[in-house]
Structure 1
């Protein structure tokens, strides 16, 4: 059994704030209430929050900018309960909290101590990019598999071939080219995120009643749709993916839809 487990792949889509935030053992902090020093450190490092670590190692206060990105005026704050979240909170719940509340940072805590800090800037880490990529990939693959169960391949090929949509015509061209080279593939293997949204809409009448609700998400699969926009950002990790409330809102929408889509796909007709 010890050897066998190395041949098994069981991915779990799970990411917590502790894994993406900065912990108190690694963060930059100051030991005293020194506003001059705080301004210097925060301006140099572009910090909007600077914890104050007391002699006993605990953190109860911090400096923050009054205006995000302006280091000329600071506030000295006590860490209130409303400014903290449990350090094992999921990324999805953090995104939802950021989306619903006028905050761009939270301290991470257990039932007695402050253990770290998470802010907008931490959301641009590799772990978040990787997590979102898995979400997008799972939506693309799982929906395609379900469509394949209910839609005849020949009908899709006919419909795409007669379309004026250059995207669909390119899909057909790629598919036909693979057949010429004796590659054993089906039309679904040549689909992109965008194609899946189009297919849902075009062949809605072919789907059983419980899957028809997928059509309300079909426009979001397009390059201009929520899923398409997130996918494009995820594929270019040197660019910030989460930087303001608009981008936070789009990620929140994706993660919320993801759970609904997965629940829909698991309902048997």
Structure 2
């Protein structure tokens, strides 16, 4: 037996539509086409989609005409455009949601309906964990690059002559840690915001193939895309998706993530 394999940690970001959504054995459904009954059930439970199960088959569904608005319902026969493969990746699911501007899909194995995934399902723990891993990977990968090509003393000098309160605080915290005898570096005191600033200030110090990373630097800022989403991820009792625009932001983050990983590779 090769014991060494138990010492290796090789995380793989793998999340599918099925793991996010709800399966047909656990979901709420209705066995008739009574719109009044359906509307009451959907409004009470904050459902935007309600499958109709008749004789063991799911061929139609009720849905809100606008996400989270419970005035009138549509009664629709499930068509090809309403379905996706149940093992579709999270990245492709988000891209599909964003591109097609839909808020739900039925999950299928091309033979039968197996479940449902909608906007509300993206507020589950699996999505929080996935996005946390994305941010952790971005931060660690870029900091490793900066640490490899930029001298610590150059960063400290640059930060000290800045009027930016954030950079002043980073240097101050680093100096305080040195007084306690802590063996650390300025990089260990960086935040998401600091990484973007450092990337921008020292882009010319990086090898030519990594200079393109600077186009992402503004998204690390306090009001940038990455910080906005990271704040949501770090507070899991709050919904990630509380507005339609968030789907577009998540899609942009995941596109950037794949590009950043390709550049660093």
* Alpha-carbon spacing, 1:70–1:149, altered in 2? closer, same or farther (3 Å): closer
The 5-angstrom pairing of residues 17-166 of structure 1 reads: 17-55=17-55, 57-166=56-165
After superposition, the CA RMSD in angstroms is 1.4
State the secondary structure of the residue aligned to 1:263.
helix
Alignment partner of 1:206 is 2:191: no
Provide Cα deviations, 1:146-183, integer angstroms capped at 9, x if missing partner: 11111111101111111111111111111111111111
Structure 2 partner of 1:11: 11
State the secondary structure of the residue aligned to 1:51.
strand
State the secondary structure of the residue aligned to 1:194.
helix
Provide Cα deviations, 1:58-108, integer angstroms capped at 9, x if missing partner: 211111123333434222111001011110011111111111112111111
State the secondary structure of the residue aligned to 1:89.
coil
Alignment partner of 1:175 is 2:136: no
TM-score (normalised: structure 2): 0.96
CA distance in 1, matches of 2:85, 2:163: 52
TM-score (normalised: structure 1): 0.94
CA distance in 2, matches of 1:99, 1:117: 17
Larger CA deviation: 8-17 vs 218-227: 8-17
User: Unaligned 5+ residue runs, structure 2?
Assistant: none
* Counterpart contact for 1:120–1:243, Cα < 8 Å: no
CA distance in 1, matches of 2:192, 2:69: 40
Structure 1 stretches (4+) deviating beyond 4 angstroms?
2-6
* Counterpart contact for 2:39–2:70, Cα < 8 Å: yes
User: Unaligned 5+ residue runs, structure 1?
Assistant: none
1:227 positional shift: 0.5
* Alpha-carbon spacing, 1:238–1:150, altered in 2? closer, same or farther (3 Å): same
State the secondary structure of the residue aligned to 2:31.
coil
State the secondary structure of the residue aligned to 1:63.
strand
